Amino acid sequence: MAKDKHQAFKEDIVLECRNLNHWFGPKRVLFNINLKIIRGEIVSLVGPSGCGKSTLLRAIVGTHPPCEGDVMIKPRDSDTARVVTRPGRDRGIVYQQYTLFPFLTARENVAVGLMLDQTSLPFRLFRFQSWRTMKKKHLDEADALLNTLKLGESVNQYPHEMSGGMRQRVAIAQALIMKPSVLLLDEPFGALDEATREELQKMLLTLYGENTRARNEDRTPPYTILIVTHELNEAIYVGDRVVALSQHWDHKDLGLSGHPGATVVYDCMSPVFRPSEAPDFELFRKQREMLRAVAFEARHITDPNEHVQFWQEYDAREGWAGNL
């Protein structure tokens, strides 16, 4: 029974990058990226500067489709994946900056997605009474979500009146209210102080806890997250899986003249923590050193697949069960 469950989870691939290549003119950036993300995972994406993390994220968002290969996304209400060609509401995104609309209050920022998704412009312009009723419903939903994220006091504040941490929490709420298939976080905590950063990391762990609860109760895990970060401790702490991209790998065996770009050189499970648990940096040490050696040091590794072991680890541990 547990095996069936494990298999079912494994097959619920919500996001897949298939043979993805990207280049800008003569500069090759991404090479043959193959990545499958299971529903309910929090995947941390790390890599040295300029390795194409943001390019990969843009390809997934759909603003800059790959030059070759596909990004496949499985919408929440469908069993079949479709190719990503443009940005859509099935992928939420939180950036480091410009995350909120400055002209809307916190609750309006969170409710704006519901408005855009559930009503049309003519509806809002010409059916004012119905729109007013609906708007109230949207705002109530936004308030409820902001309350759960401990922002109940700040619902009427504008982004410029909030701290960086509050802004990022509202931005996460803004994306989550849309119930996206996958939530993409592009170095979301990069500009925050240590304490706020830790607080938001714990918030992600709380979301992960809800996924675990959902899995245990045979429900679909609600949150799938891909977080891009340059902070290795953060990657290991908040993610249940760490993926590293790197351009430092030996491509000569492929018979290519120029460097083909960065590829996935590391893909392994990482320890899962509860929000109440303090991060044990000593526990991270081995994985952090491995990541540094494989992805960050400019000594070219010969086999980029050597440390791509997530699926073997997953099968060996029967999913996340052994990881908790």
Partner 1 sequence: MIRRAIDKKKSLMIGVLSILVLMGFYSLVSHWQHQKNPDDSTIPTWTQLGQGVQKIIEVNPRSDERWIVVDSKATMSRLFLGLFFGVAGAVVIGLLMGCFTPFEAFLAPPMSLLAKVPPTAALAVFFVLAGTDTRMYVAMISFGVLPTLAQSIYLAVKEVPDETLYKAYTLGASQTELIWNIILRHIMPKMLDAVRLQIGPAMVYLIAAEMVVGDVGFGYRIRLQSRLLNMNVVYPYLAVLAAFGFFMDVLLRRTQHIFFRWYTHGKR
Q: Which is nearer to partner 1, 99 or 287 (CB)?
A: 99
Q: Which is nearer to partner 1, 174 or 201 (CB)?
A: 174
Least Å distance, CB 233 to partner 1, is 26
* Cα–Cα dist 1/312, whole Å: 20
Q: Which is nearer to partner 1, 175 or 232 (CB)?
A: 175
Let me know: does 184 contact 90? Beta carbons within 8 Å.
no
Least Å distance, CB 114 to partner 1, is 9
Let me know: does 130 contact 120? Beta carbons within 8 Å.
no
Which are the contacts of 24, defined by CB distance < 8 A and separation ≥ 6? none
Tokens at residue 39, please? 């529903």
Q: Which is nearer to partner 1, 115 or 283 (CB)?
A: 115
Pairing of strands 82-83, 68-73: antiparallel
Q: Which is nearer to partner 1, 23 or 123 (CB)?
A: 123
Least Å distance, CB 137 to partner 1, is 16
Q: Which is nearer to partner 1, 58 or 248 (CB)?
A: 58
Least Å distance, CB 110 to partner 1, is 10
Which are the contacts of 3, defined by CB distance < 8 A and separation ≥ 6? 318
Query: Hey, how many other C-beta atoms are within 10 angstroms of the C-beta on 7?
Result: 13
Sites of contact with partner 1 (CB under 8 A)? 61-63, 86-89, 91-93, 95, 97-99, 101-103, 112-113, 116-117, 121, 158-161, 174-175, 178, 180
Least Å distance, CB 97 to partner 1, is 7
Task: Supply the Cα-derived Rg of the chain in whole angstroms.
Answer: 20
Of all helices (H) and strands (E), which one includes residue 286? helix 281-291
Q: Which is nearer to partner 1, 102 or 258 (CB)?
A: 102
Helices 164-176 + 128-148 axis angle, to 10:
120
Measuring CA to CA, which residue among 56, 117, 112, 114 is closest to residue 84? 56
* Cα–Cα dist 269/241, whole Å: 4
Least Å distance, CB 85 to partner 1, is 12
Least Å distance, CB 160 to partner 1, is 6
